Amino acid sequence: MPEALLSLSGVNTRIGQYHILQGVDLEVPRGGLTMLLGRNGAGKTTCLRTIMGLWRASAGRIRYADAEIHGLKTPDIARLGVAYVPENMGIFAGLTVRENMLLAARGGPPDEKRLAWIFGLFPALEKFWHALAGNLSGGQKQMLAIARAIVEPRKLLLVDEPSKGLAPAIIGNMIEAFRELKRTDTTMLVVEQNFHFARSLGDTVAVMDSGRIVHAGRMDALAADEALQARLLGLSLEAHQ
Amino acid sequence: MKRDWLPVVLVPALALAALPLVASLPIWVTLTAAGLAMGMMIFMMASGLTLVFGLMDVMNFAHGAFISVGAYAAASVLIALKAEAQAPSLAANLAAIVPAVLAAIALAGVLGWFFERVVIRPVYGDHLRQILVTMGGLIVVEQLIVVVWGPDMIPLPRPESLGGAFVFGDAAIERYRVLAVVVGLAVFGAMWLALNRTRIGLLVRAGVENAEMVESLGYRIRRLFVGVFVAGSALAGLGGVMWAMYQESLTAQMGMQVMVLIFIVVIIGGLGSVVGCFAGALLVGLTANYTGFLAPKLALGSNILLMVLVLLWRPRGLYPVGK
C-alpha cells in the first residue's frame, strides 16, 4: 500500500457536551480514493470537519504531507492543498457559477486548460457559467461544488456525501467524473452512504461506528464479503444497495 | 442572469401612487425630494450595519454610537472652522466641510476598529451577549460624548452654500437634500462597484452567505470581518454628519434615536443585502414623508406598517441573502 498522505491517530472531537470522535485512527494512502463509510451519526462528517480544522480536535494527532496540521486554522489547512466539499455543498447561491469558480481559484483567474478539463467533466457548468448558482439543480450544484474544489490542483480532496439526494442518472455522471479525477494525482477521502457509489470508486475503505474506525482495508475485499458488510454497515447498507 | 427588479421598482411605484393622494405636483415634488434625501442618509448609516449583520452574524446595537461620534467629530471641526463654514463662498465652505467629513469618517472608523477588537470579538457567535455588550457599549459611548462635548444639544448651522433651495415653478427643493441624494447615490455606486467588480467584494458577498466555506477555500475571513466592520463604522460616521446637518443640531442620543429606522431598513432590505438596504431606505424615507403630510397621526407608525407589509410579502426581506 502507498504511504499515507493523511493520517489521524487517536483523534477525539467534542461538540458541546457530545463526545463525537472517540479516538479515530485513519490512514489515507497517497494518490488513492479512500471511502469513509458508516451508519448515520457514526462521526464521518465530524471526521472531515476535524481534518479541515472547522472543529478542533481535543486530543490526538493529524498529520498531512509529513506535517502536523492539528491546531492549524482552516484557511491555513486549505492553503496546504486541501479542498473540502461539505455535505450541503457550500455553494454561494447569490454568486454566479463563474464567480464561485473565481473565488476558489486563489492564485488568480482559473487556468483555461484546466477549466476546459472541468467543463469536460461537468458540461452543465459551461452552459450555466453566468447563471446564479442558487438557480442550479441539486446535481448541478454538486458538480459546481466539486469543480470548485478542483479548479486548481489540490493534493487532498475531502468530499462529504457527493451522491446525496441525486437522481440515479446524475450519480452515474458523478461516478464517471470521480473516475477521471482518480487519473490525476489527487488523493481523495470521500464520505458516502451509497454503497454502489462507494464500491464503484473506492480503492481503500474505512468504516466508522460510534466515533471510531472499526474496519479498514481494501474496498474490493469489503465489497466481496457480504457478511462483513452486514456486520459493519447493517440496514443502512441494504437500503442503498 | 435573471435579476429580481421588483423591489427596486417599488420605489418609483410608491412615489407615483402618492401623486394622486397628495394632489399637488409642487408639494409632491418637495415631499419626494425630502423622502429620497432622508432615505439616502438612512442608507449611508444602515449599509454598514447590514453587511456586519450578514457577514459577521453580529447584532451590533452600538452602531448608533458610530453615527453620534461621526457627527460630533464633524461638528467640532465645523465649529472650529466657523468662519470658513459660514463664509459666502463655496471654496471656503469646502475648506471646512471636507476636513469635517474626513474627521467623522476617521474617528468613527477608529472607534469601529476598537469595538471589533475589544467588544465584539469575545462574543462572536453569541447573539444574547452581543446584544448586551453592544447596548452597553452604546451607553458608554453616549456618556463619553456627554463628558467630552457636554450634555446640551449643539446647534449645527449648515455651511452657507448648503443653505437655500432650488425653485422649480411652485416647487422648492432644499439644496442640502439634493446634496444628500448625490452623496447617497455616490456611496451606493461605490459600494456596488466594490462588491460586484472587485475580488474583495466577491469575498464579502460570499462571506455574507457562508463564512465557513470562504475559510475552507483558504481565505482568512477574520481580516475581512475587521475591514468590513471598520468600513461600516466609517460609513455610519459619514451618515451621522449628513444627518446632523440635516437636523441642524446634534445630541449624544441622536445615534440611538435613528437606530429604530436603521433596523427597520436592514430588516426590510434582507439581512446582508446592500441593494435591499438601498431600496428599503428609500421606501422608508418616502413613506415617512408622504404619511407625515397625508396622515400626520399615522406618521410615527407608518414605517412599522411598511415593514409588516414587506415581511408579509417577502418574509426574509426584499433581497434575502441565501445563507
Low-confidence ranges of chain A (pLDDT < 70): 1, 235-241
pLDDT band (50, 70, 90) for residue B322:
low
> Does B86 reside within a domain?
yes
Say whether residue B2 is in contact with chain A using an 8 A CB cutoff: yes
pLDDT at position A60, please? Answer: 96
**B217/A93 CB distance under 8 A:** no
pLDDT at position A239, please? Answer: 47
Q: Which residues of B touch A98 (CB under 8 A)?
A: none
Region for residue A38 given its phi and psi (left: phi exceeds 0; alpha: psi -120 to 50; beta: otherwise): left
Report d(CA B16, CA A172) in Å as an integer.
55
Report d(CA B77, CA B95) in Å as an integer.
10
Sign of CA dihedral A137, A138, A140, A145: positive
Cα distance from B320 to chain A (closest Cα, Å)? 9
pLDDT tens-digit readout, B57-86: 788 999 999 999 999 999 999 999 999 988
Say whether residue B152 is in contact with chain A using an 8 A CB cutoff: no
Nearest residue on chain A to B203, alpha-carbon basis:
A103
**A90/B206 CB distance under 8 A:** no
Structurally, chain B folds into a number of domains equal to 1
pLDDT tens-digit readout, B145-186: 999 999 999 999 898 888 889 998 888 899 999 999 999 999
Say whether residue B1 is in contact with chain A using an 8 A CB cutoff: yes
> Does B1 reside within a domain?
no
Tell me the residue range of the domain where B291 lies.
6-313
SS3 for B25?
helix
Cα distance from B2 to chain A (closest Cα, Å)? 8
Report d(CA A26, CA A156) in Å as an integer.
15
SS3 for B38?
helix
pLDDT at position A184, please? Answer: 92
Q: Which of A74, A135, A150, A158 should we substitute to test contact with B (largest number of B Cβ atoms within 10 Å)?
A: A74
Instruction: Spell out where B175-310 has E strands.
Output: 249-250
Report d(CA B121, CA B133) in Å as an integer.
11
**Which residue, chain included where needed, has cell 453580529?**
B58
pLDDT at position B298, please? Answer: 87
Region for residue B25 given its phi and psi (left: phi exceeds 0; alpha: psi -120 to 50; beta: otherwise): alpha
Please give the mean pLDDT across all residues of chain B: 92
**Which residue, chain included where needed, has cell 414587506?**
B310
Residue span(s) of chain A under CATH 3.40.50.300 come to 4-81+155-240
- Spatial CA neighbour of A50 closest among A191, A199, A162, A203: A191
pLDDT at position A180, please? Answer: 93
Q: Which residues of A touch B216 (CB under 8 A)?
A: 52, 54, 74, 78, 84, 86, 90
**B212/A54 CB distance under 8 A:** yes
The CA-atom distances, in angstroms, between B221 and each of A128, B75, B88, B203, B226 are 28, 35, 48, 9, 9
Q: Which residues of B touch A51 (CB under 8 A)?
A: none
Size of interface A-B (CB pairs under 8 A): 64
CATH number at residue B115: 1.10.3470
pLDDT at position B1, please? Answer: 56
List, edge to edge, every strand of the sheet that includes A156-160. Answer: A82-85, A156-160, A187-191, A33-38, A204-209, A212-218
List, edge to edge, every strand of the sheet that includes A18-29. Answer: A18-29, A4-15, A57-64, A67-68
pLDDT at position A169, please? Answer: 85
**B209/A106 CB distance under 8 A:** no
pLDDT at position A79, please? Answer: 96
DSSP codes, A39-74: -TTSSHHHHHHHHTTSS-EEEEEEEETTEE-TT--H
SS3 for B254?
helix
pLDDT at position A1, please? Answer: 66
**B215/A74 CB distance under 8 A:** yes
CATH architecture of the domain with residue range A4-81+155-240: 3-Layer(aba) Sandwich (3.40)
| CB within 8 Å of B61: residues ≥ 6 apart | B131, B134, B135, B138, B259
Whether residue B232 is predicted with pLDDT greater than 80 in this model: the reply is: yes
Written as one letter, the residue type at A129 is W
> Does B107 reside within a domain?
yes
Cα distance from B48 to chain A (closest Cα, Å)? 19
pLDDT tens-digit readout, B20-41: 999 899 999 999 999 999 999 9
Cα distance from A146 to chain B (closest Cα, Å)? 12
Q: Grid coordinates representing B125?
A: 457567535
pLDDT at position B61, please? Answer: 93
Indicate the range of B6-10, B51-55, B116-120, B157-161 predicted with least confidence.
B51-55
Please give the mean pLDDT across all residues of chain A: 92
> Does B322 reside within a domain?
no
Written as one letter, the residue type at B20 is P
Backbone angles phi, psi at B313, to 5 degrees: -75, -50
**Which residue, chain included where needed, has cell 452654500?**
B161
Q: Which residues of A touch B125 (CB under 8 A)?
A: none
